[in-house]
Structure 1
Amino acid sequence: MTDQGGDGRLVLRLRYTKLGKLRWLSHRDLARVLERALRRARLPVAYSAGFSPHPLLSFGLALPTGCESTAEYLDVRLEPTPGLLEAGPALPDLVRRELGPALPQGVAVLAAAVLEGSSRSLQQIVTACEWQLLAPGADPAALRRRAAELLDAESVPVARQRRGALVEEDLRPGLLALRVEDPQADPEPSGPQVVAELATGVPGARPDGLARALGIPGALVRRTHQWTNVEGSRREPLDAVPPALVPEGAAR
Structure 2
Amino acid sequence: MHRLRPRAHRGVSDSAGRRQPGYRASALTRRGRSGQHLLGLRSPCEDPVMRVRLRFTKLGKIRFTSHRDVARLWEHAVRRAGIPVAHTEGFTRRPKLSFGLALPTGSESLAEYVDIEFAREVEVDRLPARLSEALPQGLDVEAAVEIPRGVESLQQVVQSCSWSILVESITPAVLGAAVEQVLTAAELVVTRERKGKRVCDDIRPQIIDLEVGEVADEGTGLLAELGTQPRSLRPTELLGVFTPMLRAARTRREGQWTIIDGARQDPLAPGATSKHAEVRAS
Q: TM-score range by the shorter chain?
A: 0.7 to 0.9
Aligned residue pairs, count: 226
- CA positional deviation for 1:101: 1.7
Closer/same/farther in 2, CA of residues 112 and 143 from structure 1, 3 Å limit:
same
2: distance between equivalents of 1:166 and 1:140?
A: 35
Per the alignment, residue 113 of structure 2 pairs with: 73
8 A contact 1:44–1:78 mirrored in 2:
yes
2:256 to 184, 205, 226: 226
Where do 5+ consecutive residues of structure 1 fail to align?
1-6, 85-90, 246-252
- CA positional deviation for 1:42: 1.0
1: distance between equivalents of 2:230 and 2:148?
A: 30
- CA positional deviation for 1:164: 6.9
Matched, 1:212 2:228: no
- CA positional deviation for 1:180: 0.5
Deviations 1:183-230 (A, max 9, x none): 26xxxx453211111111244722111122343223311111111013
Matched, 1:31 2:71: yes
- CA positional deviation for 1:175: 0.7
1: distance between equivalents of 2:273 and 2:131?
A: 17
8 A contact 1:135–1:193 mirrored in 2:
yes
Deviations 1:92-111 (A, max 9, x none): 33111211121111211121
2:212 to 157, 161, 180: 180
2: distance between equivalents of 1:42 and 1:232?
A: 40
SS at match of 1:177: strand
Pairing 1:160-175 to 2, within 5 Å after superposition: 160=192, 168-175=200-207
2:267 to 237, 241, 246: 237
2: distance between equivalents of 1:27 and 1:169?
A: 25
Structure number having the greater helix percentage: 1
8 A contact 1:46–1:56 mirrored in 2:
yes
1:119 to 151, 157, 176: 151
1: distance between equivalents of 2:116 and 2:48?
A: 14
- CA positional deviation for 1:144: 0.7
2: distance between equivalents of 1:25 and 1:156?
A: 31
User: Normalising to structure 2: TM-score of the pair?
Assistant: 0.72
Per the alignment, residue 10 of structure 1 pairs with: 50
8 A contact 1:174–1:202 mirrored in 2:
no
SS at match of 2:139: coil
SS at match of 2:133: helix
Closer/same/farther in 2, CA of residues 111 and 65 from structure 1, 3 Å limit:
same
Closer/same/farther in 2, CA of residues 244 and 108 from structure 1, 3 Å limit:
closer
Q: Give the root-mean-square deviation of aligned CA atoms.
A: 2.6
8 A contact 1:59–1:75 mirrored in 2:
yes
The aligned amino acid for 2:120 is P
Matched, 1:141 2:173: yes
1:100 to 107, 132, 142: 132
Closer/same/farther in 2, CA of residues 104 and 244 from structure 1, 3 Å limit:
closer
Per the alignment, residue 193 of structure 1 pairs with: 221
2: distance between equivalents of 1:243 and 1:165?
A: 42
Q: Which moved more, 1:114-123 or 1:128-137?
A: 114-123
The aligned amino acid for 2:80 is R
User: Normalising to structure 1: TM-score of the pair?
Assistant: 0.79
Q: Which has the larger radius of gyration?
A: 2
